[in-house]
């Protein structure tokens, strides 16, 4: 409470006044920092416990959802497991952004939409066929240049032309025939050098599916690549491997793709 009352006037005053106030507090910085650190530690523990309970309800009580609330990753699972998978998906997808209009397919909770794609894009249209996901995204992941829309991409792919299409953690929810049809629809909506990016996972060695809703899980990088090469001149598929999951990422375009020849955001050689 004390630090909250202190922070409010600092935030609301002018720059010069704030600097003078901060200078006067300099002799007691260490005890103030200790109080703030204790408060942050208590809040973090409470938040982790609360998100643990949220996960237990969402995933322990049937039916299981087809989308993940990534606040659980942020506040609980990342701290518990040390697994950055939930973040690297947004980072690798973000590498492909061209700064224009983005179509995100099967956006789920909208966490990546807001926190990885919206700031570096002119606009983001994010769609999902699950109304619970869209309602959650509209409530918790809004941004001025983001629109969340209910749509089944098998039958209701949004019209328009986009510099990026993001298909993250969703391609495995479709059959091979559906993947082929959706891939053709994606190609028809990308600008000439637009980029498709996304993430999926490798099937388990025991043959069981990672989630019951998955229609097709890929055997390896080559298996995923074969769905992309008929439609795009330049395709990159790469992997990250963790103890509990083998992950696949992809970039596909008729123009340059991240880290490839002609990509303007790197110097090589």
CA quadruple 54, 199, 241, 118: dihedral sign: negative
**How high is the pLDDT of residue 11?**
52
Q: In this structure, what are the phi and psi dihedrals at residue 161, rounded to the nearest 5 degrees?
A: -125, 135
**Residue 195: beta bridge partners?**
164, 253
With 60 as the cut, is the pLDDT of residue 4 above it?
Answer: no
Q: What confidence category does residue 207 fall into, taking pLDDT thresholds of 50, 70 and 90?
A: confident
How much is the average pLDDT of 65-79? 95
Q: What confidence category does residue 16 fall into, taking pLDDT thresholds of 50, 70 and 90?
A: confident
Per residue in 86-119, pLDDT (tens digit) is: 999 999 999 999 999 999 999 999 999 999 999 9
Give the range among 11-25, 52-66, 67-81, 168-182 with minimum mean pLDDT: 11-25
**How high is the pLDDT of residue 12?**
53
Q: What confidence category does residue 14 fall into, taking pLDDT thresholds of 50, 70 and 90?
A: low
**How high is the pLDDT of residue 3?**
54
Sheet hosting strand 101-105, strand order edge to edge: 146-150, 123-128, 101-105, 162-168, 190-201, 245-253, 234-242
* CATH number of the 84-253 domain: 3.40.50.150
Q: What confidence category does residue 164 fall into, taking pLDDT thresholds of 50, 70 and 90?
A: very high
Cβ contacts of residue 122 below 8 Å, gap of 6+?
99, 100, 101, 145
- Count of Cβ atoms closer than 10 Å to residue 186 Cβ: 22
How much is the average pLDDT of 152-168? 97
- d(C-alpha 197, C-alpha 249), whole Å: 8
DSSP summary character for residue 115: I
- d(C-alpha 20, C-alpha 206), whole Å: 64
CA distances from 186 to 21, 58, 108 (A): 55, 31, 18
With 80 as the cut, is the pLDDT of residue 63 above it?
Answer: yes
Q: What confidence category does residue 200 fall into, taking pLDDT thresholds of 50, 70 and 90?
A: very high
**How high is the pLDDT of residue 7?**
57
As a whole number of Å, the CA-based R_g of the chain is 22
Nearest to 163 by CA among 101, 72, 251: 101
**How high is the pLDDT of residue 140?**
98
> What's the mean pLDDT when you consider all of the chain?
93
Q: Provide the residue ranges of all domains of the chain, joining segments of one domain with +.
A: 2-59, 84-253
- d(C-alpha 227, C-alpha 245), whole Å: 21
Q: What confidence category does residue 237 fall into, taking pLDDT thresholds of 50, 70 and 90?
A: very high
Cβ atoms of 105 and 167 within 8 Å: the answer is yes
∠ at Cα 50 (146, 140), nearest 5°? 10
The 8 Å CB, 24+ separation contacts for 175-180 are 175/215, 175/216, 176/216, 176/227, 178/154, 178/215, 179/216, 179/227, 180/227
With 60 as the cut, is the pLDDT of residue 32 above it?
Answer: yes
């Amino acid at each position: 409470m004390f630090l909250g009352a202190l922070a409010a006037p600092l935030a609301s005053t002018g720059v010069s006044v704030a600097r003078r106030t901060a200078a006067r507090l300099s002799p007691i910085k260490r005890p103030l920092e200790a109080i703030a650190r204790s408060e942050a530690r208590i809040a973090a523990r409470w938040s982790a416990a609360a998100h643990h309970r949220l996960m237990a309800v969402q995933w322990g009580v049937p039916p299981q959802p087809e989308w993940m609330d990534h606040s659980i990753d942020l506040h609980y699972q990342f701290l518990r497991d040390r697994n950055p998978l939930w973040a690297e998906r947004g980072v690798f997808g973000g590498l492909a952004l061209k700064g224009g209009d983005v179509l995100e397919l099967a956006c789920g909770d909208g966490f990546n939409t807001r926190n990885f794609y919206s700031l570096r894009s002119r606009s983001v249209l994010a769609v999902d066929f699950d109304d619970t996901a869209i309602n959650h995204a509209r409530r918790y992941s809004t941004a001025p240049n983001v629109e969340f829309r209910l749509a089944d991409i098998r039958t209701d792919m949004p019209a328009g032309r986009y510099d990026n299409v993001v298909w993250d953690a969703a391609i495995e929810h479709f059959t091979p025939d559906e993947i082929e049809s959706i891939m053709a629809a994606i190609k028809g909506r990308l600008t000439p050098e637009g980029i498709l990016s996304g993430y999926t996972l490798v099937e388990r060695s025991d043959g069981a599916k990672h989630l019951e809703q998955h229609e097709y899980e890929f055997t390896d990088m080559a298996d995923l690549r074969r769905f992309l090469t008929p439609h795009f001149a330049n395709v990159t598929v790469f992997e990250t491997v963790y103890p509990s999951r083998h992950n696949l990422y992809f970039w596909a375009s008729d123009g340059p793709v991240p880290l490839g020849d002609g990509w303007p955001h790197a110097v090589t050689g």
